[in-house]
Amino acid sequence: MNDTLVLTLLIFVAALLYSSVGHAGASGYLAAMALFSLPPAVMKPTALVLNLLVGTVGTIRFASAGHFDWKLFAPFATLSIPMAFLGGMMKLPIATYKIILGCVLLFAAWRLLIRPSAHAETLKPVSIPQAMIFGAGLGFLAGLTGVGGGIFLSPLLLFLRWADVRKTAGVSVAFILVNSAAGLLGHLASVKAIPSEIVWWAPAALAGGLIGAELGSRRLPPITMRRLLSVVLIVAGVKMLAAR
């Protein structure tokens, strides 16, 4: 019972921090669950459900603040949704899942340690074919592992100069929302099970998401806490890779 309460608190903190920067927190939830050695059969659907809740809140908040661009979102989402469904249906061997997840968590930690530049840069038009290809790959990874894909989409948009920081956050959280929904549907079609502990974790994630999205939509990123969270991600990622 104590472990459940501690994990619930960690999920709340992860939701708050991630939602403040346009993410739904999947890598944070997965890291927390990895620290408690939960099995992949619990980790994946839990992360997708929590992502769905926090992603919904974040999408509404960022869109209402004028930070969502449908024309930028659509080409990424077109192929990501069916690919996320396909990934959600797949059940990887435990060792393979841990390797992939460990790498994802370490990448997420790296992303949290790097603060996006606040300086304005000249934006470039989006290449729709490239966006669709990227979206397909990220959607499949989202459904396969339980992440929403936003942790990869955000640096991609900024690196290619297809969006500024605020629109990147708004598009990323919507991308996470649709991929998490598709991945969860794929998982349910294949496994037909959601962990019972979700009754504890879902309200915690929702509360954290509401607070974080409100802060994030007004650009108040908690930099110090993001760095602390990155340490948790590194520990969990290394644990995943070492445990295989």
Section 50-68 average pLDDT: 86
pLDDT digits (tens, 9 = 90+) for 27-44: 889 888 988 888 888 888
Write down the residue that tokens 């790097």 correspond to: 114
Asked if the model's pLDDT at residue 119 lies above 60, the reply is: no
Asked if the model's pLDDT at residue 198 lies above 80, the reply is: yes
Question: Is pTM beyond 0.85 here?
Answer: no
Range of the domain at 93: 2-116+123-242
235 or 181: whose pLDDT is higher?
181
CA distance 207 to 201: 10
Residue 195's pLDDT band, with cuts at 50, 70 and 90, is confident
pLDDT digits (tens, 9 = 90+) for 121-133: 688 899 999 999 9
Mean pLDDT of all residues belonging to the chain = 83
Report the number of distinct structural domains present in the chain: 1
What share of the chain in percent tops pLDDT 70? 88
Asked if the model's pLDDT at residue 64 lies above 90, the reply is: no
Q: Are 65 and 216 in contact (CB under 8 A)?
A: no
Element (H, E) at 11: helix 2-19
Asked if the model's pLDDT at residue 223 lies above 70, the reply is: no
Asked if the model's pLDDT at residue 232 lies above 80, the reply is: no
Q: Are 26 and 176 in contact (CB under 8 A)?
A: yes
Angle of CA points 51, 57, 59, to nearest 5°: 90
Per-residue pLDDT, 225: 56
Asked if the model's pLDDT at residue 221 lies above 80, the reply is: no
Sequence-ordered list of residues with C-beta below 8 angstroms from that of 128, at least 6 positions apart, any chain: 75
Q: Are 28 and 204 in contact (CB under 8 A)?
A: no
Section 104-123 average pLDDT: 71
pLDDT digits (tens, 9 = 90+) for 137-190: 999 998 888 888 888 888 888 888 898 877 888 898 899 999 999 998 998 887
Asked if the model's pLDDT at residue 73 lies above 90, the reply is: yes
Per-residue pLDDT, 167: 85
Asked if the model's pLDDT at residue 233 lies above 70, the reply is: yes
Residue 67's pLDDT band, with cuts at 50, 70 and 90, is confident
Asked if the model's pLDDT at residue 229 lies above 80, the reply is: no
Per-residue pLDDT, 220: 53
Per-residue pLDDT, 202: 92
